[in-house]
A and B are shown apart, each in its own frame.
Chain A
């Protein structure tokens, strides 16, 4: 009976998928949601590839998935994935559905699933991965994810003990998950910019996870990422099995070593975050049995990270750059502020990270502003910051408290009026920092910025 129910769910889901695709719609969520509604056991009954790699974590999971899928595809592996869809249960159900034959058996031998941290609870009882990659666990939106220790508990409780873990040894939190599961670690050696004291407002690991004593860091990259140890009980960060050393952002290279030797890789991007993402993908490929030389060749022949800087264009005397900064995620914004403020040259910023959905429904919880390192924005190269949108006054006050000189600040509630407050210094850059749900608005602000830049250039 329940098998018939499953087949009905599968066929209806497939029919929906066919119709939606014929209409040019993205069929990566609804067919899965419908199949789950018809057959709540859909995940358990759907045919699954023999090798499933699940990737979760606060930051970098999309990038890591894209790299693994790219590398596997280069090696002739046909990969089932949820890359274009949702990383929730319905998204993964839709992906499994698309990979099933009409009999319910899977057509694929390998799957890579980006998995939302909280989705693991509903997914792992039925779709048990061979490998689970955890990129890191940081504070995310306080409203959705509470705090990283809570998220770690959710994953741990859901995790079958057969799953092999691929973990970040520089994250003293997530590297400790599920101690009884088999695991390998990846990590990045000390970098020139590392510090020992925390310069960030978010620091989720102050206390030793074993004895609650104060943790000491041999070096610290940002927030709680680094090499930690506890002087009272001897706890220390694990040793990496896949270790990146000589990370050189001038030469754009890093060396990855493991038990079988070492190999120099060209860095795909100039941010530390992406060095981690690339290293993670290398670790996964090595675990699957691929050789360094081949992985390097695949990177060299075009498996890469799309730039997070989007739509970089010259206009008048300046360069206008759109940069996404996930609003309500203090840590993601801190990383973007650090990155943008350390770029060379003079910079002007328009901040429109307001949550547009919240603004319609109720009012955004802005407490994240005080977990976020706005202090990076008082660096000297930043000559003007315009706070715009429904929460402009909150941003403005936060920037003042962060020590940004008042004369550099402007405030404009209508987003499209923001460009008029810019100076457009010759040779400088204008960054538009926008939230995840504001790309369309950001494009209009960008167009207006370019228009005003042209006008001010001609009138000079």
Chain B
């Protein structure tokens, strides 16, 4: 988030307090960002967003630009199976559900594609995502190496119009400058030059070389 506000002079960040009406429902926001939280935080967020479900759905259909990372994508699926008999009901905007395994944390690297852009990132999470209904929703990334929505799935994340969601940490935009530039272009920002772009690209190129090297383990 910080990266984008620094890239775009005069960018304004509106933070929505929990349980308040999300700002992007009423005003034209260029990008709405929602990040990772604890398991308790997820339950709080799910109940805090529930009253706005239909409006959020309508805004996504209208092309509102939303980026959800870490475990935030799960909030937009049907529910989270906590693995202990409990369930967290989510917004149900996508035909997927998540399942936690609190004794086994998944740690892995990720290499994938966003259209023609190479994506790198990390995963560190208790849960994975299962696809329940195959409608016309796209995945955000195509998997080249590593786990998708769940290990073995070739699709990572969720995408509908300008709604984008992925488990990837990085931070996603920081470790993927070409993706961040594409996002700025799509948002119609005056510039898509990133701060310290050269240093960002050097780190990205080095990581890409490493992740493509078959000798590099991917974990899981």
Are A367 and B217 in contact, with the CB atoms below 8 A? no
Residue of A nearest to B219 (CB): A362
Are B17 and A214 in contact, with the CB atoms below 8 A? yes
Q: In this assembly, does B126 line the interface, its C-beta being within 8 Å of a C-beta of chain A? A: yes
Are A142 and B203 in contact, with the CB atoms below 8 A? no
Are B109 and A142 in contact, with the CB atoms below 8 A? no
Partner of A370, one of B126, B171, B200, B218: B171
Interface size classification for chain B = 35 or more
Partner of B200, one of A143, A362, A397: A397
Partner of A150, one of B39, B199, B211, B216: B39
Complex CA distance for A149 and B44, rounded to whole angstroms: 14
Are A363 and B207 in contact, with the CB atoms below 8 A? yes
Nearest-neighbour CB distance to chain B for A455, whole angstroms, equals 30
Nearest-neighbour CB distance to chain B for A48, whole angstroms, equals 27
Residues on the B chain within 8 Å of A214, using CB: 17
Are A367 and B218 in contact, with the CB atoms below 8 A? no
Q: In this assembly, does A394 line the interface, its C-beta being within 8 Å of a C-beta of chain B? A: yes
Residues on the A chain within 8 Å of B109, using CB: 362-363, 365
Q: In this assembly, does A147 line the interface, its C-beta being within 8 Å of a C-beta of chain B? A: yes
Which residues of B from 29 to 71 have beta carbons under 8 Å from A? 38-40, 44
Residues on the B chain within 8 Å of A367, using CB: 122, 124, 169-171
Complex CA distance for A147 and B218, rounded to whole angstroms: 23
Interface of A is mostly: helix
Known A146-B126, A207-B18; contact A396-B199, beta-carbon cutoff 8 A = yes
Residues on the A chain within 8 Å of B107, using CB: 143, 365
Are B196 and A365 in contact, with the CB atoms below 8 A? no
Complex CA distance for A212 and B48, rounded to whole angstroms: 11
Residues on the A chain within 8 Å of B117, using CB: none
Q: In this assembly, does A458 line the interface, its C-beta being within 8 Å of a C-beta of chain B? A: no
Q: In this assembly, does B137 line the interface, its C-beta being within 8 Å of a C-beta of chain A? A: no
Nearest-neighbour CB distance to chain B for A173, whole angstroms, equals 11
Residue of B nearest to A399 (CB): B199
Interface size classification for chain A = 20 to 34
Complex CA distance for A170 and B105, rounded to whole angstroms: 29
Complex CA distance for A396 and B219, rounded to whole angstroms: 26
Question: Per-residue CB proximity of B165-181 to A under 8 Å, as 1/0?
Answer: 00001110011000000
Residues on the A chain within 8 Å of B44, using CB: 207, 212
Residue of A nearest to B177 (CB): A397
Nearest-neighbour CB distance to chain A for B80, whole angstroms, equals 15
Known A143-B107, A143-B124, A150-B39; contact A365-B200, beta-carbon cutoff 8 A = no
Residues on the B chain within 8 Å of A207, using CB: 18, 44
Most chain-B CB neighbours within 10 Å: which of A361, A367, A394?
A: A367
Nearest-neighbour CB distance to chain A for B69, whole angstroms, equals 10
Residues on the A chain within 8 Å of B17, using CB: 214
Residue of A nearest to B206 (CB): A393
Residue of A nearest to B105 (CB): A146
Residues on the B chain within 8 Å of A400, using CB: 195-196, 199
Known A143-B105, A362-B218; contact A397-B203, beta-carbon cutoff 8 A = yes
Residue of A nearest to B2 (CB): A401
Residue of A nearest to B19 (CB): A212
Are B219 and A142 in contact, with the CB atoms below 8 A? no
Partner of B122, one of A149, A150, A365, A401: A365
Partner of B196, one of A142, A143, A147, A397: A397
Question: Per-residue CB proximity of B139-156 to A under 8 Å, as 1/0?
Answer: 000000000000000000
Complex CA distance for A284 and B40, rounded to whole angstroms: 32
Q: In this assembly, does B210 line the interface, its C-beta being within 8 Å of a C-beta of chain A? A: yes
Residues on the B chain within 8 Å of A150, using CB: 38-39, 102
Residues on the B chain within 8 Å of A362, using CB: 109, 216-219
Chain A residues engaging chain B, CB cutoff 8 angstroms? 142-144, 146-147, 149-150, 207, 212, 214, 361-363, 365-367, 370, 393-394, 396-397, 400-401
CB-defined A-B contacts under 8 Å, sample of 27: A142-B124, A146-B105, A150-B38, A150-B39, A150-B102, A214-B17, A362-B217, A362-B218, A362-B219, A363-B216, A365-B107, A365-B109, A365-B124, A365-B169, A367-B124, A367-B170, A370-B171, A370-B174, A393-B199, A393-B206, A394-B207, A396-B199, A397-B202, A401-B3, A401-B6, A401-B195, A401-B196
